[in-house]
Amino acid sequence: MDLKSLIREIQDFPKEGISFKDITTVLNNKDAFKYVIDQLSEQLKDLNVDVIVGPEARGFLMGAPVAYKLNKAFVPVRKPGKLPAETARYEYKLEYGTDALEIHKDAIKPGDRVAILDDLLATGGTVLAAAKLIEELGGQVISLNFLIELSFLKGRETLKDYHVETLVQYDEE
């Protein structure tokens, strides 16, 4: 399946100079959405993970369906102030800005084998933050899986200590 042809590119969104990769056009195509979830699930099926983590918001769109398909638990990592119980927090940098992420402290048990799923790898800051939160709670980060990789931003260098898999790569903006 030619996923790249289904990913819509919007120039100068949300800021000048950013070429935004819009996955809503993939989600809106039932065959493409199914293909993406099936492919991400296939990458994980033999890794014996216990938990799938997805960072808000687009990580939910990849992580929750894969967790359902593989019959695993799903744990959301959210932007500050959204999770109601006791949280751990980590601050990180984005391609456009700075943010922080939180996870419920009781969501990951020591020794849990965890995969983190997100729609897109840019600088790697978001998923590194999620990985640090999981490790702080005693989890083991087994795999990081993405639909899209912006290779020119070198997120793999930020994530060099982890196993990274992506379905579609962009070598230049």
Ligand X SMILES: O=P(O)(O)OC[C@H]1O[C@H](OP(=O)(O)OP(=O)(O)O)[C@H](O)[C@@H]1O
Q: Which residues are catalytic?
A: 58, 95
For residue 82, the minimal CB distance to ligand ADE (Å) is: 19
- Asked if 128 contacts 162 with a C-beta cutoff of 8 angstroms, the reply is no
CA–CA distance, 104 with 93 (Å, rounded to integer): 21
Encode burial over 18-39: b for 16+ CB neighbours within 10 A, e otherwise.
eeebebeebbeeeebbebbbeb
For residue 150, the minimal CB distance to ligand X (Å) is: 8
Residue least distant from ligand ADE (Cβ): 122
Of these partners, ligand X, ligand ADE, none, which one is at the site of residue 100 (CB under 5 to 8 Å by kind)? none
Of these partners, ligand X, ligand ADE, none, which one is at the site of residue 166 (CB under 5 to 8 Å by kind)? none
Task: Check binding of 102 to ligand X (CB under 6 A).
Answer: no
| Structure token digits, residue 103 | 């996870």
- Report which of 106, 109, 105 is spatially closest to residue 87, judged by C-alpha positions: 105
Interface with ligand X in residues 21-80 (CB under 6 A): 55-59
| Structure token digits, residue 85 | 């119980």
- Asked if 52 contacts 117 with a C-beta cutoff of 8 angstroms, the reply is yes
Pairing state between β 87-94 and 97-104: antiparallel
Task: Check binding of 18 to ligand ADE (CB under 6 A).
Answer: yes
For residue 145, the minimal CB distance to ligand X (Å) is: 13
Interface with ligand ADE in residues 115-134 (CB under 6 A): 120, 122
Task: Check binding of 120 to ligand X (CB under 6 A).
Answer: yes
- Report which of 96, 104, 171 is spatially closest to residue 137, judged by C-alpha positions: 104
Of these partners, ligand ADE, ligand X, none, which one is at the site of residue 65 (CB under 5 to 8 Å by kind)? none
Rg (CA), the chain: 15
- Asked if 117 contacts 109 with a C-beta cutoff of 8 angstroms, the reply is no
User: Site for ligand ADE (CB under 6 A): how many residues?
Assistant: 8
Q: Give the binding site for ligand ADE (CB under 6 A).
A: 18-21, 95, 120, 122, 150
Q: Give the binding site for ligand X (CB under 6 A).
A: 55-59, 94-95, 118-126, 155
